[in-house]
Homo-oligomer: A and B are copies of this chain.
Amino acid sequence: MDLLTWVQIPVLALRGVFMELENVKGTIDELPERALLRERIADTLKGVFKKYGFVPLNTSCLQKFETLTAKGSGGEEIKKETYNFDDNSRRRIGLRFDLTVPTARLLSENKSVTMPLKRYEYGKVWRYQEIKPGRQREFYQFDIDIFGTKSLLAEAELISCAVEGFKALGFKEFKIRLNNRKLLKEMIKYSGVNEEKITDVFRSIDKLDKIGVEGVKKELEQRGIKKETPKIIEVIQISGRYDEVLNKIKKILGKNEGIDELEELAGYLNVLGIENQCIIDLSLVRGLEYYTGTIFEISAEGLNVSFAGGGRYDSMIQQFGGNEIPAVGLSFGIEPIIQVMEKKEEETATAQVFVAVADSTLKNEALKIADSFRKQKISTELNLSEKNLSKQFEYCNRKKIMFAVIVGSRDFREKKATVKNMLSGEETMVALDKLSEYVVSVVEEKKPKRK
C-alpha cells in the first residue's frame, strides 16, 4: 500500500465507503462448523420426537405485546426482558420470549384442533437480558409439549423422549430432578407462609443455584418472611430417591394431590426403567409463573448444566380465551447441548469428493464429472477458483474432503482421470467411463460409521 492510499483511507471512511458493520450484541451468527453441529443435533432430536408421535407446529416470532404480557403467561420478570415496539400501524408488537406462550395463544384461537396434540417446535426466541457465557439475547429453543390431557403418562412420555434424545446425541448418564408445584405450595404453607406470599417465596427459592442458601435466607427476610425462613430452608433441602422423599412428606402432609401425582409418575418411570436416574428435589421451582403441577429438569450427569426442563401448565390456554386444555411441556436447552458437544465433536467434511481442475480449458469436463457423481448421490465440490492444483488441494484439506478427482489435459486425452486419497496421498488412474462407479466404491468404503 503506498502513501497515497494511506492518506485516502480516512477520506473514504468519512464518505462512508468503508463501513465496519458489527452484529447486534447478544445475537447469534454461526459459521458452518457450528451451524452443521446445530443442524445435526436438531435433526437427531426430531427423529426421536417423531418416533413418539410428535408433529411440528410453527408459531410466529412476532406477537401482540398484550399476549406476551397477559396474566398467566410470562409474568413481570419476563415483561422487562421482552423486545417490543410499535409497528407502522401503531400496534404494540413483541418478539416471542419462548415457544409456549405463542403456542398456547394459537391453540386458544384454533378450537378445532384434535386433542391430545403432541407437537414440537424449534425456533429462535429473544430476551433482552444480561449477556453471560452461554446466555445470549437471541437463542434457540426446542420444545415438545402435549396438549389436551391431564394424564401423567404425558409427563412420563416427555421425560422418556428427552432421555432417548440425549442418548441419541451420545450422552450416557442423566439426572432427572422432579417436583410438583401443588406439593411445593402445600409445603411452603406448612412452613407458615400465607397464601399471598407463596409466589414471593417461589421467586426466592428459584435463585438457590445462583445465590446459595444464605442468599435465599437473606432474600426471604428482605421480603418480610422471617420467622418462617428456617422451615422453608428445611423444606427446600429435602431431596432424594422418590420413595424416600414421598414417605417423608406423606408423614408431614398426609394425603395430598401433589404427592399422588409424583407417585403415579414415578410408577411410569419405573416401567420405563429410568427411575434410578430420578430424584425428587423440593428446591426445584423453575421460574415461570404458569406451572400448575409437575415440574422437572434433566441434566447430563457430571455436567453442571440443565439440558432440558419443563412442567405442567393446565390453565394458560383457557386464560387466553380458549377451551380448557391442560398442557405439559419440556424445553431443550440447545445452546448448552451444543457447547458441550462442540468440545467432543470432530469436524465434519463438507463433501465426500472434490473435483480439481488442472487445466482451465477443461471446466466443462470437470462440471460433467461432478454432475455424474452427484447423480450417484455422492456429495461433491467442484473447484470454482482460478487457483493452481496445489492451492486446490490445500482447500480440499482445509475442508477435510477425503478424495480429489483430478481432471488434467494429458489424462483426459487418454480418457482417464486421477483419484487421489488426500489422507494417504495415494493416487489411482481410472478410466473416465468407470470413474463414478470407482468413486462410489471408495467413498462407501471410507464412510465413517456412526455409532
Contact = CB atoms under 8 A, between A and B. Distances in A.
Interface in A116-168: 116-119, 124, 126, 128, 137-138, 146, 148-149, 151, 153-154, 156-157, 160, 164
A361 interface: no
A368 interface: yes
Contacts of A374: 51-52, 164
A116 B371 CA distance: 19
Nearest to A85: B85
A109 B21 CA distance: 7
A105 B23 contact: yes
Contacts of A277: none
Contacts of A30: 56-59
Interface stretch (A61-69, A249-257, A425-433): A61-69
A114 interface: yes
A285 to B, nearest CB: 26
A321 B378 contact: no
Contact of A384 (B29, B128, B154): B154
A429 B98 CA distance: 46
A367 B23 contact: no
A39 B56 contact: yes
Interface stretch (A12-20, A206-214, A408-416): A12-20
A394 B124 CA distance: 35
Given A21-B70, A53-B379, A53-B381, A29 B267 contact: no
Interface residues of A, number: 102
A367 B153 contact: yes
B128 A21 contact: no
A382 B157 contact: yes
Interface in A251-276: 267-268, 271-272
Interface stretch (A87-95, A197-205, A219-227, A441-449): A87-95
Nearest to A106: B29
18 contacts: A20-B109, A22-B64, A24-B64, A29-B58, A30-B58, A32-B56, A36-B55, A36-B56, A39-B46, A51-B377, A116-B395, A118-B350, A146-B384, A151-B363, A153-B363, A267-B364, A268-B367, A271-B364
Interchain residue pairs A-B with the least CB separation, the first 9: A85-B85, A53-B381, A27-B60, A53-B351, A32-B55, A35-B56, A30-B58, A149-B384, A21-B67
